[in-house]
Amino acid sequence: MSNYSTQIKAAELNENGLAINTGWITVYHVHPETREYQSASYEYLMTGIGIPADSYSDEPEIPSSGLALRRSIDGLKWEHVPDYRGQTVYNTENRHPQTVTYLGELANDVTLIKPTTDFDVWDGKAWALDSDAQQQALIQNAKSELATRLGVANTQINTLSDAVSLGIATEAESAQLAAWQTYRVLLSRIDINAVPDINWPDVP
């Protein structure tokens, strides 16, 4: 029998994960928190020594695209899990977007489907438009618009009315007063509930 060998001596582990002989072994490292596979390396073990922490001796199978490779929570096997990291998901309660940073299935309160309006509600499978909420929002916006327009009109009318009542209004100011008064009357006839089909009068 030859005294020489060109083969690299491999370490073998017992049931407790300790080397029963001195030698090299390939180990597969995972992230200590996420358990995601990180890399492989050769480790030289002395008899009675185990492999590094967060490492395993069984070779994993590389997953297909869209899946991540990690160790099971009990540390007994490798598993392939969905990998949505970097993708945008939307909260099904408030529609807020967020970027996925974790491995595995998506949380129950998010979806990859993007809502199309600020009034969409999640029905469990898809976004559905809440027409009542949309209409109420339009009405509130119209009320705000009407209040702003009336405020401007009242300011103009008050100023011009002073000039007329004092008998110092010019012909142009008298015409402007009539125009603003007409404008205010037209505003008073606006039906707020007709949104979005409101025809706002032209500002004088």
Tokens (6 digits) for 65: 């695209």
Residue 199 has pLDDT above 80, yes or no: yes
Residue 170 confidence (pLDDT):
93
Residue 19 confidence (pLDDT):
94
Name the residue among 151, 91, 150 with its Cα closest to residue 122: 91
Residue 1 confidence (pLDDT):
61
Tokens (6 digits) for 137: 């929002």
pLDDT band of 149, cuts 50, 70, 90: very high
Residue 7 confidence (pLDDT):
78
Beta strands in the chain (DSSP E): 23-30, 37-45, 55-56, 67-71, 78-82, 88-91, 97-99, 110-111, 120-122, 127-129
Please count the CA atoms within 13 angstroms of the CA of 143 that sit on its side-chain side.
Answer: 7
The owner of tokens 């001195």 is: 22
Largest CA distance in the chain: 130
Cα distances from 41 to residues 29, 56, 108, 171, in angstroms, run: 8, 11, 37, 94
Give dist(CA 70, CA 61) in Å, integer: 10
Is the distance from CB of 186 to CB of 200 less than 8 angstroms? no
